[in-house]
Amino acid sequence: MDAETTPRHYDNPVIPGFHPDPSVCRVGEDYYLVCSSFEYFPGVPLFHSRDLVRWRQIGNVLDRPSQLPLPPDASASDGIYAPTIRHHDGRFWMITTNVSQGGNFIVSAERPEGPWSDPVWIDLPGIDPDLAWDSDGNCWCAFQGVQVARVDPEAGKVLEGPFPAWSGTGLQWPEAPHLYRIREWWYLMIAEGGTERGHTVAMARARSPRGPWEAAPSNPILTHRGTDHPVQSTGHADLVTTPDGEWWMVLLATRPRGYSPGFHVMGRETFLTPVRWQDGWPVVGPVNLRERAPGRPLPVEEVPRRDDFDAPLLDPRWISPRSRPDEFWSLTARPGWLALRASGSTLDRPGCTFIGRRQEHPASRTAVLLDPGSGRAGLSIRMDEAHHYDLEVADGQVGVIARIGPLRQRLALRSVPPGPVTLVITTGPAGERPPAEGTPTGLHVAAPDFIAFHVDGERFAELDGRYLSTEVATGFTGRVIGMYATAGTAWFDWFEHSPLEGPGAPMTE
User: Which residues are designated catalytic?
Assistant: 21, 175
User: What residues contact 354, with CB distance under 8 A and at least 6 apart?
Assistant: 320, 321, 347, 380, 382, 482, 483, 484
- The span from the CA of 153 to the CA of 172, in Å, is 29
- The span from the CA of 263 to the CA of 499, in Å, is 20
Strand segments, DSSP code E, in 89-156 are 91-98, 103-109, 120-121, 130-133, 139-143, 147-152
378-408 burial, b at 16+ Cβ within 10 Å, e below that, comes to bbbbbbbbbbbbbbbbbeeebbbbbbbeeee
- The span from the CA of 365 to the CA of 447, in Å, is 18
Nearest to 374 by CA among 456, 487, 492: 487
User: What residues contact 506, with CB distance under 8 A and at least 6 apart?
Assistant: 457
Q: Is the CA virtual torsion 322, 326, 330, 333 positive or negative?
A: negative
Distances (CA, A) of 144 to 151, 165, 167: 16, 10, 9
Tell me the one-letter amino acid at 113: E
- The span from the CA of 24 to the CA of 84, in Å, is 7
